[in-house]
Amino acid sequence: MTKLSVNINKVATLRNARGGNNPNVLAVALDCESFGAQGITVHPRPDERHIRRSDVFALKPALRTEFNIEGYPDERFRELVLAVRPAQVTLVPDSPEQLTSNHGWDTVAHAAFLKTVVAEMRAAGIRTSIFVSTDISMVEGAAACGADRVELYTEPYAAGYAADREGAVAPFVEAANVAKQLGLGLNAGHDLSLENLAYLHECIPWMDEVSIGHALICDALYLGLQETIRRYLACLK
């Protein structure tokens, strides 16, 4: 079964735009769970422009599903993750000023660094996923670093879906097969939506998890959060 992890960064962005605590990030996360989400994802950036460190500490004891923290593994981020001990940490190669994640790791060039981080997380009992493109050598590199899973960066699939969905998904199927052969778990995320999610799942039904935030929150503005989550879950059946 492919789990749906809801990324709640956009909820925090809305809260921070006005100050105060509306919407309440913790309450929304708990509602997502009650509406069927099987995980909650956050990306606490250094400038706290959406999720704050305080949110991370508030979420961990309250959540009933898997908690996934993603981010660039500098010393401050690693200290936060080790203090909170989520079910999963997703390592992304973002610089602090990046608006959003827009590329995967070069797992060959950064192998020594990633091996150290993965070993540190594994020693703490935290599952580690490395954010990668569909380049087979990057998937192989993630396995060599000791990662438990890879998360495929799906923006190229989403961008090509309308024009040629078969062509758009083909490199993802290839990378997913390699990951499976290497014994890696498989996550996917970035620009997945109600338009393109079902076909990705049809082609790669063994995905462990999809992490979706931006499109899901946009859909919720029109459909409501409960109905939106129901529709995303339906794409994964």
The residues annotated with a catalytic role in the active site are 43, 70, 190
| Beta strand residue intervals within 95-156, DSSP E | 127-132, 149-153
* Torsion over CA: 86, 24, 192, 133 (sign): negative
Q: Which residues make beta-bridge pairs with 188?
A: 152, 210
Q: In this structure, are residues 196 and 157 in contact, taking their beta carbons and an 8 Å threshold? A: yes
DSSP 178-205: HHHHTT-EEEEESS--TTTHHHHHHH-T
Q: Residue 22: is it exposed, middle or buried by C-beta count within 10 angstroms (0-12/13-18/19+)?
A: exposed
Tokens for 117, please give them. Answer: 């981080």
Closest alpha carbon to 58 in 79, 70, 46, 44:
44
Cis peptide before 23 (omega within 30 of 0): yes
